[in-house]
Structure 1
C-alpha cells in the first residue's frame, strides 16, 4: 500500500486525486482547511490534517504530524490553492500568496525529503504551471514588498517552484519532481479574494469550457504511477521544456538561502 499525501485535497483536482487513490486502496493523507469537505470523501483509509498552508506554523505542524505517523511517502501532491489578486500579509508577516504557493511547498519538499527517499519510486507533483521566465524572481524582494502585481507574483512563484526541483533532485536523484498545469480550465469551486471581473469570468467560462476535475487529473495519475527520476514539466499529458537560465544551480541555491533566512 502506497502513502499518498495531497495538500489541497478537499476540493477540486486534489479531491479528485484523493478519491482515485482511495478507490485504488492506497493510504491517502489529505491536508486542507475544511473537515466537512474531507468527510465527504467517506473513506476509512484516508487521514485528514487541518491546516491553513498560507501560515508557516501550520505547514510545519502538518509536516511534524506526517513525520510522526509515517516512515515513507510515495507521492507528494502540492495542490493547495487560494487566489489573491492583491498583496496580502499574513499574521506571521509573510506575503500570503508567496507563503501558500511557495513557502509551504518548500517546507513540505525539504521537510519530508527523508520520507520520500525511503520510497522505492518517490514522486512530487507540484501544480505550479511550468514555463515562467528564468529571470522572473526578484531575489532581493522575495515577498514582493515593492511593485506587486498579480501577474508578477504568479510568475515569481512558478519560477521558484521550478528551482525548488533543482534542490530536491540534487538531494535525492531518485526523486521524480514534476511541475504540472492543466491544459485548460477545470470545473471546480473558485477559492480566492479577487475582483468582480475574475469572479464573473470564472463563473461563466469554467462551466462552459472547463473540464471535470476527474478528467484533468488523469495525466497526474499516470505520472505518479510510472514516475521517472529527475525533473520534468507538463501541461496536461504533454511534456513541456524546462525553463533553462544562465545560472540555474546558483539561483536555486540563492533561493534556498533566502528562504531559510526568513522563515
Structure 2
C-alpha cells in the first residue's frame, strides 16, 4: 500500500483522486484549507467503507507559515511518502495579498508547491518509486513570466496570474528534477484538460460567463484521473516528464530552460530569505 499527500484534495480532481486511492487501500493525506470540506471528505470515505486510511491536515497553503507547519506535521507522521500530488489553486479576479504580504496566486499556486516539494523530499526519497505530480499546465512559453514583477503588482489580471503560475511550475519541475532526480524522485507535470472541477475562485462579472461556458464543456472529473494515476503507479524513468491530456510532450525545449529554472530558484530563495 502507498502513502499519498494531496493538496486541493477536498474538491474536483484532488477529491476524486483521494477517494479513488482510498478505495484501493492506500493512506491518503489531504491538505485542506477548509476544515468543513475536510470533514466531509472523511465522512464520504467512511460512508464508502473504503479500506484505506484518510488523514486530514488543515492548512491555508497561501500562507508560508501554515505550509511549513503542514509539511512538518506530515514528516513527523510519515517517514516515507510515495507520491505528492499538487492540485490546489484559486482564481482571483482582483489582486489580493496574503497576511504575509505575497500575492495570493503566486503564494498558493507556486510558492506552496515549491515549499512542499522541498520539505517532503526526504520522505519521498525513502519510498521505492517516489513521484511528485504537479497538476498545472505544462508547455507554455517563457514569455508568460514577468521576471521583473513576479507578483503582478502592475497590470494584474486573474488569467495572467494563473498563466504565469503554470509556467513557474514548469520551471519548478525542471529545477526539482535537477536537484532531486539523482535521489530517484520523479517529477511529472500534468495538464488533464478542462475538467468539471469546483472552479475554485472569486470571479468578477466579466469572467463569470466564461467560467459557465467552461463548466458546460468540461470533461467529467473521472476522465481526468488516468494520466495522474499512471504517473503515480508507474512513474516515468526520466527525472522530469510532462503530459497534456495524456499526450507526452518534450521537456528538452526552450519552454523548460534549465537556465531560466535556476534564475527562478535564485529569485525565489532571495524572496523567501527576506524578513
- Normalized against structure 2, the TM-score is what? 0.88
Aligned residue in 2 for 1:187: 196
Q: Distance in 1 between matches of 2:256 and 2:78?
A: 36
Aligned residue in 2 for 1:126: 134
Whether the aligned pair in 2 keeps the contact of 1:133 and 1:243 (CA below 8 Å) is no
Q: Distance in 2 between matches of 1:2 and 1:78?
A: 17
Q: Paired residue for 2:59, among 42, 46, 51?
A: 51
Structure 2 gap ranges (5+): 47-51
Shift of 1:149: 2.6
Shift of 1:205: 4.1
Aligned residue in 2 for 1:76: 84
Shift of 1:137: 2.0
Number of equivalenced pairs: 261
Shift of 1:147: 3.0
Q: Distance in 1 between matches of 2:109 and 2:227?
A: 21
Shift of 1:247: 8.7
Q: Distance in 2 between matches of 1:72 and 1:209?
A: 39
Q: How does 1:87-166 map to 2 (within 5 A)?
A: 87-166=95-174
Whether the aligned pair in 1 keeps the contact of 2:5 and 2:30 (CA below 8 Å) is yes
Q: How does 1:1-263 map to 2 (within 5 A)?
A: 1-41=1-41, 42-43=45-46, 45-173=53-181, 174-183=184-193, 185-206=194-215, 208-228=216-236, 229-242=238-251, 244-245=253-254, 248-263=257-272
Whether the aligned pair in 2 keeps the contact of 1:132 and 1:243 (CA below 8 Å) is no
CA deviation vs aligned residue, 1:51-109 (integer Å, no higher than 9, x gap)? 11111111111111111111111111000121112221111100000001000000011
Q: Which moved more, 1:146-155 or 1:112-121?
A: 146-155
- Name the CA shift for 1:163/1:246 in 2 (closer, same or farther; >3 Å): closer
Q: Distance in 2 between matches of 1:2 and 1:233?
A: 23
Shift of 1:204: 4.7
Q: Distance in 2 between matches of 1:247 and 1:103?
A: 18
Shift of 1:152: 3.1
Q: Alpha carbon RMSD of aligned pairs, Å? A: 1.9
- Name the CA shift for 1:217/1:247 in 2 (closer, same or farther; >3 Å): closer
Q: Distance in 1 between matches of 2:80 and 2:131?
A: 12
SS across alignment from 2:210:
helix
Whether the aligned pair in 1 keeps the contact of 2:137 and 2:167 (CA below 8 Å) is no
Aligned residue in 1 for 2:49: none
Q: Distance in 2 between matches of 1:172 and 1:180?
A: 19
CA deviation vs aligned residue, 1:109-143 (integer Å, no higher than 9, x gap)? 11111111111111111111112212332333221
Runs of 4+ in structure 1 over 6 Å off = none
SS across alignment from 1:187:
coil
SS across alignment from 1:211:
coil
- Normalized against structure 1, the TM-score is what? 0.92
